[in-house]
A and B are shown apart, each in its own frame.
Chain A
Amino acid sequence: MFRVENVAKSFVLHNQGSAVIPVMEGASLDVAAGECVALVGASGAGKSTLMRMIYGNYTVASGSIFVDDVDVASAPPRDILALRRHTLGYVSQFLRVVPRVPTLDVVAEPLLAVGVDPAAAEARARDLLAQLNIPERLWSLSPTTFSGGEQQRVNIARGFAHDYPAMLLDEPTASLDAKNRAVVLDLIEGAKARGAALVGIFHDAEARGAVCDREVDVSAFTPGVAA
């Protein structure tokens, strides 16, 4: 489902003396349907950079990144948008929403975007919010005023609303208590069981051990550190 081949990336900071910072070299990764792979490595090794490149959020200097049959490294914006809508989900650490939109609508939105009937989308959103222990009295409020842990759970509910065949998870269990962490791990297991391919960053070793089939150390792709 994911096939990353020989990817390189550097940042050029034009306004800071045109400094060139190489951040990745020769990155390769294969993830099959039904598999969950953890990206590991020290802070700054490039875990998030690789994940952002797979999502199309960062440009790629060379190499290819296939998600399904779309090469994210070279595809035009509208192909990436379609891929994100239907195929590739992303649970980030930060909730970014239009202010004043109710939580229920925030969670249902990815379903509406793929044409799910509004009543069915709302039912799914309710179900996920309940599973993730967000009190029902908060559902009609905007999540922008929620606590960090609540925002994270709203983000997870939104990320799992649509059954994406491929998913990226950036610290999905960070800042969650044991009970909610178990719910998130169940959601991940469920996604694997229906055949989704997942790539994740988990600082929580226990969570990583519970759901991940293997680990890929991105330090091997860090220029100057490897070799």
Chain B
Amino acid sequence: MTPLLQVADLSKFYGNRIGCADVAFDLYPGEVMGIVGESGSGKSTLLNCLAGHLPPDTGSVGFHMRDGEMRDTVTMSEPERRMLGRTDWAFVHQHARDGLRMNVSAGGNVGERLMAVGARHYGDIRGAAVDWLGRVEIAEDRIDDRPRQFSGGMQQRLQIARNLVTGPRLVFMDEPTGGLDVSVQARLLDLLRGLVREMGLSAIIVTHDLAVVRLLADRLMVMKDGYVVETGLTDQVLDDPQHAYTQLLVSSVLQV
């Protein structure tokens, strides 16, 4: 099987400071990878470099295109990268307002991404929007409301619907459950797991919540000071951590 994403020698510097350095990994179709580490460890920098939001200083990010070709998304042209961002990639922001258009209705938020890839039939677009709102458990009668009239958890679910409506193959998530209360988190986790299984999605999830990665991620990458210090199966990294920092991280979790 060909990897969906092939990352090699990826580094990003902010002046003399290291954002992330020497990152390399392969992600296969259907795999969910978690990236954990404390604030400032470089996990969001890495995610933004992978998703084309930040230009890395060195390295390559190969993506297996639908035509079967492996293309380096770092060196491809901006229009091509933007096209990927609208079709095969999705990005779920920590703050839903960064990923939603707050002055456009819920239905419009979902429909806009479809229109960006060429959908023009109003009935079809509205139908797809209703379908997706249902999948993320937003009642159909809220379709004409604006996101600012939604609760935080609903906004986050709307953001997920907006991102997944075009059938992406790779989803980047930055703290998708951050800032949500635990009962809403649980529902979102279940939703994400179901979507990953049904749609065969691959995903990269940045979080500092070890319980979230245990339930969602197949593989785990632990970052500290911009470097990847440990990788492996999620349960193996959490239950038998090898690196000093990972041991500290795992043993620092409060037991409920």
* Residues of A bordering B, CB below 8 Å: 11-15, 52, 56-59, 77-78, 80-81, 96, 98-101, 112-113
* Minimum C-beta distance from A82 to chain B (A): 10
Contact partner of B28 (CB less than 8 A), chosen from A11, A78, A112, is A78
Give the contact stretch, choosing among B39-47, B58-66, B238-246.
Answer: B238-246
Contact B233 A56 (CB under 8 A): yes
Chain B: interface secondary structure? helix
Q: Which residues of A contact B232 (CB under 8 A)?
A: 59, 77
Interface check B7, CB cutoff 8 A: no
The chain B residue sitting closest to A59, CB to CB, is B240
If A80-B233, A100-B186 touch, whether A57 touches B218 (CB-CB below 8 Å) is no
Complex-state Cα separation, A112 to B239, whole angstroms: 26
Complex-state Cα separation, A100 to B193, whole angstroms: 13
* Minimum C-beta distance from B225 to chain A (A): 16
* Minimum C-beta distance from B252 to chain A (A): 10
Contact B244 A14 (CB under 8 A): yes
Contact with A along B218-237 (1 / 0, CB 8 A): 11000000000000110110
Contact A57 B240 (CB under 8 A): yes
Contact A98 B186 (CB under 8 A): yes
Q: Which residues of B contact A14 (CB under 8 A)?
A: 243-244, 247-248
If A78-B31, A98-B193, A112-B197 touch, whether A56 touches B236 (CB-CB below 8 Å) is yes
* Minimum C-beta distance from B5 to chain A (A): 13
Contact B236 A59 (CB under 8 A): yes
Complex-state Cα separation, A78 to B215, whole angstroms: 16
Interface check B97, CB cutoff 8 A: no
Q: Which residues of A contact B186 (CB under 8 A)?
A: 98-100
* 19 extra interface residue pairs, beta carbon distance < 8 Å, beyond A59-B240, A77-B233: A12-B242, A56-B233, A57-B233, A57-B235, A57-B239, A57-B240, A58-B239, A58-B240, A77-B232, A78-B218, A80-B233, A96-B214, A98-B186, A98-B193, A98-B215, A99-B182, A100-B190, A101-B190, A113-B197
Q: What are 11 sample pairs from A and B whose C-beta atoms fall under 8 A apart?
A: A11-B240, A14-B247, A57-B240, A77-B218, A78-B28, A78-B219, A96-B214, A98-B189, A99-B186, A100-B183, A100-B187
